[in-house]
Every structure is written in structure tokens, then in C-alpha cells.
Structure 1
Amino acid sequence: MTTTRVRLPRQFRPTLSQSLTIIGLIITISCIAIALLAPTLQNIGWLQDPVEALANPIHEAPGADYWFGTTRQGYDVFSRTLFGTQAALKVVILATTISLILGVPLGLVSGYLGGRIDKVLLFFMDTIYTLPGLLLSVTLAFVVGKGVLNAALALSIAYVPQYYRIVRNHTTSVKTELFIEAAQAMGAPTSRILSRYLFFNVIQSVPVLFTLNAADAILILGGLGFLGLGLPPEVPEWGHDLRLALDALPTGIWWSATFPGLAMTTMVTGLSLVGEGLSDILNPGVKIR
């Protein structure tokens, strides 16, 4: 008996880019679900308290009792890894949202008005843009201190120039279009031109930048935590856990660093894949074939 293989028409076959985007979405949605469900899982007794050490601190290897093992300080690695997802999402969403709220309006105003305002803002933003993101975040973290909001503020400053530059460049191009000149000739106020005619024509790349910045922010937050500058010690955070695990690695406690590191890598990979997929969808003209 012979079997026939059903082949989908070419238009229904996912490309490699689409497949990677789907994988990225699955990873990202899974991370969000973990962050939302972690407190509930703890309340029903399926997760240990991430900030409560064992009564007799002793490191346990991964097994039936502790899936990811325990740290040398007696913390459950599985619980801290899951709650670390929640902390990362809080900081990253806040940081990227703050930078978007600041960068997009500044880019619109600078690109549309031009002149001295444009020169001053461009100089200021280019100065910030030339500084390495981690170095800038470390410096600001020293100033503002620890905490979710403070860490988000320290991260957001590094991303404001990126939103500003991409929106400003698009605005500079679009403001010479006929429909903008027609709105000006009809006496439309500047605020209306910016919000109604320009805004929706210059934000095509903002979702892509938002997603890629979120992936980058996770790495920088991990760096801040590793240096002891991110969140308070009582908040489960991957970078802080990696710092605690550093001294334990020579003693063979590999699991205390492996699982937080894998969680960070997985989340960054998922967001990066989503960002690349959005870039292909929103900017098909620059897609490499």
C-alpha cells in the first residue's frame, strides 16, 4: 500500500523567518505566562518561597525534591528562576515604555520643527547614544539607587536616543509630503499635524525597536544585578543569582548558575526572534532574501 504525501501550496508554507517568529512568540508568551503564574503557584504550594532559605542551608543537587537544586545559601533555584522572570519583565516593560514615551515625541517635534531645537536635541541625543548602554546604566544606577522603578529609569535613558533618532529621521522625510503641505496650507495647528498626520506615518519601526530593546534591557539588567546595582537583594533576579553562584562554581554547584543563565538566554532569544519577525512584516522592503 502506497501513501501519498500532502504538500501545502507554496503560499501556505511558512518561511524560515515566519517559523522563527512563531518560535519567538511561543517563548515570549511562555515567559509572560510564567511571570503571571509564579505567585499563584507559590500560593498553592507548588513553589518554594524564593526569598526564604531552608532551615538547614545545604546545597541540594537537582532532583525530585528540588527540580533545579538549591543554592549554597539554601534557596530553591527553580522558584528563584521563575520569579526572576517576573522581575525581569517588570523592569524591562517599564524601561522600554519610558524610553518610548520620551523618545517618540521628542523625535516628532525635532524632525518637524527643525532649526535650533533640532540641532540642540540632536547634539544631546547623539552624545548619549555614543555612550555604551551598560556603562550609562551603571552610572545612573549609582545615582538613583536600587529598586524596580530606579532600575527601569537607569535602563531607559540609554534607549531614548534610539527612538528619537528613528522617529526624527522618518519625520524629516515625511514632512515634505503633499498631504503635510496641504494640512499646513489649510491652517492646521502643529499639534494636530504631529498627532494626526505624522505620528501614524513614522512609527512603523517603533514596535521592532521596542522588542529588540526589551531583549537588550534583560542583558543589561542582568549586568546590573551581577554588579549588585539592580534590584534589592531580597528580590529574585537572574543577574544577582549569577553573582551569588560565582563563588559556588569551583565547589561543583553548577546548577545555581546554569538555570538562571539559561532562563535569561531563552527570554532574550525569544524577544530577538519576535523583533526580527516584526521587522520583516513591517519593513518588507529591507528584508534580505
Structure 2
Amino acid sequence: MVAHQARWLQFFQRPSLSRQLMLVGLVITGLCGAIALFAPLLVQWGLLASPQEFLTNPLHQPPGPGHWFGTSRQGYDVLARTLFGTRAAFQVVILATSLSLCIGVPLGLISGYWGGKVDRALVFLMDTVYTLPGLLLSVTLAFVVGRGVFNAAIALSISYVPQYFRVVRNHTTSVKTEPFIEAARAMGASPAHILRKYLFLNVIQSVPVLFTLNAADAILILGGLGFLGLGLPPEIPEWGYDLRLALDALPTGVWWTALFPGLAMTTLVTGLSLLGEGLSEIFNPPTQRGI
């Protein structure tokens, strides 16, 4: 614990580009999180149209005072759909990465600690899943489980389980031979107690890095599912689905229905990626720094 605190202190005291980029990523992610949290209040206060509301104004209305991001071919307010798309992205991605974490970390601990046939079977299973492209696996699972927030999270989470498994297993196999683990066994500590109290806290350090980077990747895959019509139902604002609707309007010069959802997706992915890279330098500091 003291070593981790020292790493955080050294990182933020050092005037490096990585620290600055991490702070930028933290601000971007925090602002997007605030938008996701407070978007419904904007509707209640009358500052924003409901994302499902069909407007009485002309369709394909360009950005202006009445509708800052314009309106879509379907009569939706693009600003409302874009802001509420942030809410949907956070809901699905946090749920998906949390599910994969809760599955991959325990399996990695068990596989690395027990070894033998259990380890070989789990490694074979996870390597098989890991070789499948994430988008292809998510599309296949989306066909099976259907559309919806929880179903989309399940479709996304499976492809990330092997990453948590591999990282935690590798750390566990190296830590389980340490003297303090041997001392715990000699004192009669049960395997469950050793896994929970000694191994877990020592191998969990890389998980926050994976969590943020997987979240950034999951947003892109969720956008791909939405673009294919396999993500969330149409009544739930989602950036990928809105980009799909905007595709037909682009040849007619209606650029705003694609621009703003695309910028929102790019912004959040960039913020999470910068945050993940900063966390990676804290928990896994390089021996030689080029910045």
C-alpha cells in the first residue's frame, strides 16, 4: 500500500507530459460523466428536448438558436440524442467492464494459485476466447441475447474476460511463491483466505489500467453494434445508431446529424485512453522515460 502511494506521489510531482495528458483525460471523462448524470435534469428544467420527442419544426433543421445541434431526418433534437447517448454509453460500458472484471479476476486467481489441470483448462478456454476478434464476438452474442442495456453489456463483456484473466494469473503465479505466502500456508491459512487477503491485493494493481482501456474500446464496439442495429433499442439514444441514421442524410448535405455523435464518441474514447495511459505509468512505471 505504501509503495502504491509513493508511485502516485512521484507521478503527480513529476512535471511530465504523461501527467498532463492523464489530467486532461480525467477532466474529459469527468465532464462526460457529469453530462451522463445530469442530462435528465436538463429535460425537467426545460433546457433540453426529450431525446425521444418528435419535433414540430422542419426536419433536417440546421444548427441554430432553437436547436443548437439541429434536428435529424426523424425529427429528433440532435443535442438531446447526443447528450443522452453519453448516458447510455456509461451505463453499458461500466456494466460490461464490471462484469468482465468480476469474472476474469477470480478465474485468474484460481488458475494461477492452483495450477495443474485447472490451470490448463482455464488457459485453453481463455486463449480460445482471446483469439476471437472483439467486434465479431460481440456481434455474434448480440444476435443471441438481443438488444437492450444489459444484453449489450453481456455481449461486450465476454471478450474482455481473458484480458483480466491473463494479467491476474501471471501476477498470481509469480506472487504465490513469495515467502509471506509460504508463511501463511505454514500457519494453516486456507486457500480462500490466502487468495482473498494476500494474493488479491498484490495482483490487483494492473486492473484499473485494464478497466479504463477496455472501457474506451467497449465504447467503440458498442458504437459498431449500434451502427449494425444490434445494440440498444431505437428509443434509447446511442451514438452508433444515430450515426447509422445519419448515413443516408450525408449525401444531401446534412452533416450535423453525423458530426456531433461522432465527436462525442471520439471525445469520450480519447479521455478514457489518456486516463488509462496515465494509470499505466503509475502502476507500471517504465525504466527509461522518453518524455
TM-score by length of 1: 0.94
Match of 2:262 in 1: 261
- For 2:226, the aligned partner's letter is G
Q: Is the 8 A contact 1:214 1:271 kept in 2?
A: yes
- Structure 2 distance, partners of 1:83, 1:172, is 44
Displacement after TM superposition at 1:52 (Å): 1.2
1:220 equivalent in structure 2? 221
Q: 5 Å matches for 1:1-289?
A: 14-55=15-56, 57-285=58-286, 288-289=289-290
Letter in 2 for 1:88: A
Q: Shift in Å at residue 251 of structure 1?
A: 0.4
- Indicate the larger mover: 179-188 or 216-225: 179-188
- Tell me, in whole angstroms, the C-alpha distance in 2 between the residues paired with 1:124 and 1:102: 13
| Aligned-partner SS, 2:177 | coil
Return the alpha-carbon distance in structure 1 between the equivalents of residues 127 and 224 of structure 2. Answer: 24
- Residue 14 of structure 1 and its aligned partner are, at CA, apart by 2.6
Question: Which residue of structure 2 lines up, in the alignment, with residue 6 of structure 1?
Answer: none
Query: What do residues 209-268 of structure 1 show as CA deviations (whole Å, max 9, x unaligned)?
Result: 000000000000000000000000100000000000000000000000000000000000
For 1:144, the aligned partner's letter is V
Q: 4+ runs of 1 displaced by more than 3 Å?
A: 285-288
| Distance in 1 between residues matched to 2:183 and 2:128, nearest whole Å | 36
Cα distance, 1:285 vs structure 2: 3.9
Stretches of structure 2 lacking an aligned partner (at least 5 in a row)? 1-11
**Does the 8 Å contact 1:77/1:256 carry over to 2?**
yes
Could you say which residue in structure 2 is the equivalent of 1:7?
Answer: none
Judge conservation of contact 1:57–1:73 (CA < 8 Å) in 2. Answer: no
Kindly provide the amino acid, as one letter, of the partner of residue 167 in structure 2.
Answer: I
1:287, 1:203 → 2: CA distance? Answer: 24
Q: Distance in 2 between matches of 1:85 and 1:175?
A: 42
CA–CA distance in structure 2, aligned partners of residues 35 and 215 of structure 1: 16
Partner-residue secondary structure (3-state), 2:53: coil
Amino acid at match of 2:103: L
- Letter in structure 2 aligned against 1:15: S
> Aligned pair in 2 of structure 1 residues 119, 88: CA closer, same or farther (>3 Å)?
same
- Aligned to 1:263, the other structure's residue is in SS state helix
CA RMSD of aligned residues (A): 1.2
For residues 135 and 212 of structure 2, what CA distance do their matches in structure 1 show? 18
Q: Which amino acid aligns with 2:188?
A: G
Counterpart of 1:160, as a letter, is V
Q: After TM superposition, give the deviation of residue 288 of structure 1 in Å.
A: 4.0
Q: Name the SS for the 1:205 alignment partner.
A: helix
The AA in structure 2 aligned to 1:69 is G
Aligned-residue offset at 1:55: 2.6
AA matched with 2:146: G
Question: Is the Cα contact below 8 Å between 1:50 and 1:75 reproduced in 2?
Answer: yes
The whole-number CA distance in structure 2 between the counterparts of 1:257 and 1:21 is: 28
CA distance in 2, matches of 1:106, 1:23: 34
Q: Which amino acid aligns with 1:270?
A: G
Once residues 195 and 188 of structure 1 are traced to their aligned partners in structure 2, the CA distance between those partners, rounded to angstroms, is 11
Distance in 1 (CA, whole Å) between partners of 2:71 and 2:287 is 48
In 2, Cα distance between equivalents of 1:178 and 1:283: 23
Quote the offset at 1:47 in angstroms: 0.4
